[in-house]
Amino acid sequence: MSGHFLQIDKLVMRFGGLTAVDDLSFVVEEGAIHGLIGPNGAGKTTTFNMISGFYRPTGGTVRLRGEPISGLPMHEVARRGVVRTFQHSTLFAELTVLENALVGTHMNFRPGIVSAILGLDAENRRGARDRAEEALEFFGLLEFAGELAGELPHGHQRALGMAVAMAAQPDVILLDEPFTGMNPEETRQMMELMFKLRDSGVTILLVEHDMHAIMGLCDRITVMSFGRFLAEGGPQEIRTHPDVIEAYLGGGRHVA
Amino acid sequence: MPRAASHTAGWLVLAALLIALPHALSFSQQEVLVFLTINVLLVASYRLLTLTGEWSLGHVVIMGVGAYASALYSKQLGIYVPVSMILGALTAVLVAMVLSYPLFRMKGFYFLIGSFAAGEIIRLLWKRFRDPFGGPKGIKKIDPMPDFDIGIYSFDFFEPVSYYYFALAVVALSLWVMWRIERSPVGLTFHAVHWQDKLAQSAGVDVRAYRTRAFLIASGFAGLSGALLAHYIGTINPNSFDVELMVFVLTWAIVGGTATFYGPILGCVVLSILNEVVLRELGFEQMRPFIYGLLLICSVLFMPKGLESVVQYFMRRRPGNAVAKAQRTGGPAQYEAERGTET
């Protein structure tokens, strides 16, 4: 057992005869923005799903501060401090913005049925509301608090997805392709929000296709190809790494 | 606050109307009114179950569990009737808890079919075991509510009016409890589980535990409505809780709409009045299933959001707007906001 913050150790995921992720190991340091990239089908999202508890790995372990979290159901992983966002279904479109953030406070302000009926949970509700508003403020969404989340512009919806995760006060946030469908201006704003999030003490692990965003954001990058570990390093190393360039099939124009 | 005052006044007027109502009706209409009151509780509890997104076809059988249990407790064990009603409701919760283990391994259509099968198994058990369930003929001569006097009114349960007042009080209290639950953070979590169960789970919500919770609470109130029914009509059998009644519950909920608390209640009241006033008075009783089916199809086609959407149209406020309004005026959060209080 090591002192690493988030340690992915020899993860394996098989679906029948297909090995989606094969013997993958890497380490995410506390307070870092860590990118997980690779060509389509490299197994990035599968890896994400295993870390967040959405899938149970066929083999290997994920440890947070030395404590194994792999194989636990997703809500248990979340309670241990690892909260994820989704590529699709990022928010509750039918609920208001504030209600979305309130769902995020679930773990810290566990609702009770009896106290709710008798009205004994006023303090809890106020605490949850303060926390939710704080998270919305952080992402500049407080002015939309009463609006339906589904009616927000795309960029704000993405930010709200992160606000929901942040309201849960996690140690690690897993972001699944947070820049999908964003224009350059939205991407730039989102990157600023992520730096701000990191500076507030949250470790970020993200899967992303947008190379510009990845290179500008990440402290360290892990590259996967065909389910395996390919390379790891800072943005500069990865940009010039021969294996990485080859994996992207002469994709120098994507990478560089 | 004038708003709060007007609300209180509204509730008082409604209460006065409900208390005065039976005196404007004939004896048989009073009996129907008792059934309607019980059905309101049944359909409201059904909505609580649907909050987490799962639709059950076993709900009236759970109601039957409450009815059978309360009838047997009072008849065989001699338990005082109001107490046996509460025990009946708790028995329904217990049975629902046992059912929840297999049922909540399923979702959506599978849950629907599974709940139907589970309900049929329970009904077959009632039919198969003559002792204690009385077989296909069911239980007869169930002890009635004992008469009592509360000073201003003396309850004589031979009169439907008395039973109506008793049921009204029980149902009102139950509705209040369900209303409190729905507007609490627990209710918000139910909604979250409904709309995006994966996302809710990633926020640390134990999705299955919350589905089970909604199921148990809904079953408890359904069981209570069954107990109210059993001690009123005095005889129950497995066919009192068959799929036909389930279809009525579904029709009430769908025609009324399930987005608001009052939607299903509205559906139940409107369809029951339609049933009594139009069908029975005009002698179309035989065509009831036909007309209900037609109504269901028409409401799905032309009024997909249910009767409640008509009310909302005239109230000029959607659920989201009500919240937004509360926000802007610095009012309380969603689950404390004024929403659908105009039942």
Nearest Cβ partner of B324 from A84, A147, A164? Answer: A147
Task: Answer yes or no: are the C-beta atoms of A125 and A96 closer than 8 Å.
Answer: no
* Neighbouring C-alpha atoms within 13 Å toward the C-beta of A27: 9
Residues of chain A with C-beta less than 8 angstroms from the C-beta of B221: none
pLDDT tens, residue by residue, B162-220: 999 999 999 999 999 999 999 999 999 999 999 888 899 888 899 999 999 999 999 99
Q: How confident is the model at residue B132 (pLDDT cuts 50, 70, 90)?
A: confident
Residues of chain B with C-beta less than 8 angstroms from the C-beta of A84: 202
- Pairing state of beta strands A82-84 and A18-28? unpaired
Across the interface, whether the CB atoms of B189 and A106 are under 8 A apart is answered yes
User: Which residue, among A52, A103, A147, would best test binding to B if mutated, counting the most B CBs under 10 Å from its CB?
Assistant: A103
Interface check A90 vs B, CB under 8 A: yes
Residues 91-110, chain A, touching B (beta carbon < 8 A): 91-96, 98-99, 102-104, 106-107, 109
Interface check B330 vs A, CB under 8 A: no
Across the interface, whether the CB atoms of A129 and B199 are under 8 A apart is answered no
Distance from CA of B325 to the nearest CA of A (A): 8
Q: How confident is the model at residue B334 (pLDDT cuts 50, 70, 90)?
A: very low
Interface check A146 vs B, CB under 8 A: yes
Nearest Cβ partner of B202 from A74, A113, A125? Answer: A74
Residues of chain A with pLDDT under 70: 1-3, 89, 249-256
Across the interface, whether the CB atoms of B202 and A89 are under 8 A apart is answered no
Across the interface, whether the CB atoms of A113 and B181 are under 8 A apart is answered yes
A45 versus B329: the higher-pLDDT residue is: A45
pLDDT at B343 over 50: no
**Cross-strand partners of A63:** A7, A68
Instruction: Count CB pairs under 8 A between chains A and B.
Output: 129
Distance from CA of B209 to the nearest CA of A (A): 11
Across the interface, whether the CB atoms of B181 and A117 are under 8 A apart is answered yes
CA distances from B109 to A69, B104, B114, B241, B247 (A): 32, 12, 8, 22, 16
% chain B with pLDDT above 70: 91
Q: How far, in Å, CA of B48 to CA of B190, rounded?
A: 9
The average confidence (pLDDT) of chain B is 85
Interface check B199 vs A, CB under 8 A: yes
Nearest Cβ partner of B203 from A89, A103, A119? Answer: A103
Mean pLDDT of B16-43: 91
pLDDT tens, residue by residue, B242-264: 988 998 899 999 988 888 899 99
User: Which residue, among B199, B213, B338, would best test binding to A if mutated, counting the most A CBs under 10 Å from its CB?
Assistant: B199
Interface check B105 vs A, CB under 8 A: no
Interface check B293 vs A, CB under 8 A: no
∠ Cα A134 A135 A138 (to 5°) = 85
The average confidence (pLDDT) of chain A is 87
Give the pLDDT confidence score for residue A250 in this predicted structure.
Answer: 56
Q: A201: left (phi > 0), else alpha (psi -120 to 50), else beta? A: left
SS3 of chain A: the string is: CCCCCEEEEEEEEEECCEEEEEEEEEEECCCCEEEEECCCCCCHHHHHHHHHCCCCCCEEEEEECCEECCCCCHHHHHHCCEEECCCCCCCCCCCEHHHHHHHHCCCCCCCCHHHHHHCCCHHHHHHHHHHHHHHHHHCCCHHHCCCEHHHCCHHHHHHHHHHHHHHCCCCEEEEECCCCCCCHHHHHHHHHHHHHHHHCCCEEEEECCCHHHHHHHCCEEEEEECCEEEEEECHHHHHHCHHHHHHCCCCHHHHC
Across the interface, whether the CB atoms of A111 and B192 are under 8 A apart is answered no
Across the interface, whether the CB atoms of A79 and B188 are under 8 A apart is answered no
Give the pLDDT confidence score for residue B227 in this predicted structure.
Answer: 95
Residue of A141, A142, A134, A137 whose CA lies nearest to A158: A141
pLDDT at B272 over 50: yes
**Cross-strand partners of A176:** A207
DSSP string covering B178-219? HHHHHTSHHHHHHHHHHH-HHHHHHTT--HHHHHHHHHHHHH
Residues of chain B with C-beta less than 8 angstroms from the C-beta of A117: 177, 180-181, 184
Across the interface, whether the CB atoms of B195 and A109 are under 8 A apart is answered no
Task: Answer yes or no: are the C-beta atoms of B250 and B115 closer than 8 Å.
Answer: no
Nearest Cβ partner of A103 from B184, B192, B336? Answer: B192
User: Which residue, among A95, A160, A162, would best test binding to B if mutated, counting the most B CBs under 10 Å from its CB?
Assistant: A95
Mean pLDDT of B301-315: 82
Across the interface, whether the CB atoms of B196 and A92 are under 8 A apart is answered yes
Task: Answer yes or no: are the C-beta atoms of A224 and A43 closer than 8 Å.
Answer: yes
Across the interface, whether the CB atoms of A107 and B204 are under 8 A apart is answered yes
Distance from CA of B259 to the nearest CA of A (A): 11
Chain B residue with Cα closest to A174: B202
Mean pLDDT of B10-30: 89
